[in-house]
Structure 1
Amino acid sequence: MLSLVDSGSGTVVGTVRGENVLLDVYRTGSGPTLLLLHGAEGREADEAFTDALAERFTVVAPSHPGFGLSPRPDWCDSVDDLAYLYLEWLEQQDLHDVVVVGLQFGGWVAAEMAVRECSRIGRLVLVDPVGIKVGGREDRDITDVFAISRAELDSRNYADPAAGPGDLALAPHEDVLHIARNEEALALYGWEPYLHNPRLRRWLGRVHVPALVIWGAQDGIVSPEYGRAYADSIPGARFELVEGAGHRAQIEQPDTLAELVVEHAA
């Protein structure tokens, strides 16, 4: 059983506990509940987007096990585990009509949630998600983020590479450790097969809530064509292309994305 426990420390209101599960959860804003699932950048990097959403929603933003300050139980080592974890949390909190927003890796988690159980999800928003196979067996749909330089990674993640963390040799030690831990967790969850579930695309037809797929026009990790294929696999899904944004569109265009989420939720 999972339960939300108030930590009494400002906007960081609680942890999610269940057996040996402990999640660092950030909560802010007021209004309908929105579950925000971060990508490899971690929850903290999405602050501007979270603040924009908080003007209309109660935003609940956990750090996935293994990311940020959330410890990872030994048994939690797949995207399936994350999907069931968050579905269980929605059930235990008796939440309904929740807006679920998944960013990149978090978009994959959100999609896996939605193909399993949509009864507590009111709207689904996927921002530059990974998770499906679009091309042929020998085609690389998703750039190998573990095999390229940091400079190239920034140029692919952002329309303007200056939006990224830059030279990590100049970054604070704690920031570097934070990035390293997040990337280690990403590798654990998405190493083989690489950042996708071969079966997921087949089951996206089970998503029966209104869905919006948002894509950065300059995404160098997964192309807009991949994004359109993702949207086409979800019944009735709408596809929106956002200029001036790369793979982490929520960091470069937070207000534009928040407006799209508000419109979709309405």
Structure 2
Amino acid sequence: MLTLVDSTSGTVVGHADGEDVVLDVATVGSGPTLLMLHGVEGREADSAFVDAVAERFTVVAPSHPGFGLSPRPDWCDTVEDLAYLYLDWIERQDLRDVVLVGLQFGGWLAAEMAVRDCSRLGRLVLVDPVGIKVGGREDRDIADVFAMPRGELDARNHADPAAGPGDLTLAPVETTEHIARNEEALALYGWEPYLHNPRLRRWLPRIHVPTLVVWGAQDGIVSPGYGRAYADAVPGARFEIVDAAGHRAQVEQPDTVATLVADHTA
């Protein structure tokens, strides 16, 4: 059993399978609870988006185990583990009508949570999520981010490559270590099968809360067609394209995406 309690340092601490579970959590804003699940770049990359949604919501933004400052217990090595961890957290904090927002990798995680249990969710927002198989067996739905040169990755992630981290050889050591740790965690959770659960798409019809799928028009990692297929698999889901945005739509167009979230929850 996993128990999570707020600590005086602002982290969330728990115990499961004989190991402590510690999540680095940032909480900002006021209003209904919005749980934000970050992508591979980590919570810090989404600061402008967080500030925008915090005008209407209490934003709870954890770093997933293995990302940022959150250590990863040995038992936590699949997206399913993460999904159950956060569902347990929501239940033990007695949160209700939670607005669950998943960004890229975090969108996959949010979808895995929602197909398991929607009872404490009020709305679901997925921004450029990965996680499902759309094409045939030999078709690559998701660009191989692990094999891609950094410059190409920035170009595919952003409509404007200048929005990316740039030349990491010029970055502080702390920045490159942070990026390397996050990418190592992504590889652990998403190496095989590559950034998807072969069974997830068939279970998306279990999601029975109002759902919004947001996609960057210039997403070079996963095409808007993939996003439309994602939305079509969720009953009643709405699909919105954001112009001048790549895979990280909330980074390049934080105010636009925040407005879509607010309108979806109105």
TM-score bracket, normalised by the shorter chain, equals over 0.9
> What's the counterpart of residue 256 of structure 2?
256
1:198 matched to 2:195? The reply is no
Identity %: 77
**Which residue of structure 2 lines up, in the alignment, with residue 3 of structure 1?**
4
* 1:172 is the counterpart of 2:177: no
Mapped contact 2:41–2:182 kept (Cα < 8 A): yes
**TM-score normalized by structure 2?**
0.97
Deviation for aligned residue 1:5: 1.5
SS in 2 for 1:7: coil
Map 1:25-64 → 2, pairs under 5 A:
25-64=25-64
Equivalent position of 1:122 in the other structure: 122
Letter in 1 for 2:255: D
Aligned partners of 1:134, 1:7: CA distance in 2, in Å?
44
Task: Specify the alignment match of 1:97 in structure 2.
Answer: 97
The C-alpha deviation readout for 1:204-244, integer Å capped at 9, x for no partner, is: 00000000000000000000000000000000000000001
Query: 2:23 & 2:14 partners in 1: Cα distance?
Result: 7
AA at the equivalent of 1:17: G
- Alpha-carbon displacement from aligned partner over 1:52-96 (angstroms, at most 9, x marks no partner): 011000000000000000000000000000000000001001111
Give the conservation status (yes or no) of the 8 Å contact 1:35–1:61: yes
1:16–1:52 Cα change, 3 Å: farther
Q: How many pairs are equivalent?
A: 262
User: For 1:140 and 1:16, how far apart are their aligned partners in 2?
Assistant: 39
Alignment partner, residue 219 of structure 2: 219
Deviation at 1:15, TM superposition (A): 2.0
Structure 1 stretches of 5 or more lacking a match? none
CA distance in 1, matches of 2:207, 2:61: 22
Q: CA deviation at 1:3?
A: 2.6
Alpha-carbon distance between aligned partners in 1 of 2:220 and 2:232, rounded to the nearest angstrom: 20
Q: In structure 1, the residue corresponding to 2:108 is in which secondary structure?
A: helix
Give the residue type in structure 1 aligned to 2:229.
A
**Contact conserved, 1:207 with 1:235, CA < 8 A, in 2?**
yes
Aligned partner letter, 1:65: P
Alignment counterpart, residue 17 of structure 1, candidates 14, 26, 37? 14
TM-score by length of 1: 0.97
Q: Distance in 2 between matches of 1:160 and 1:17?
A: 41
CA RMSD of superposed structures (Å): 0.8
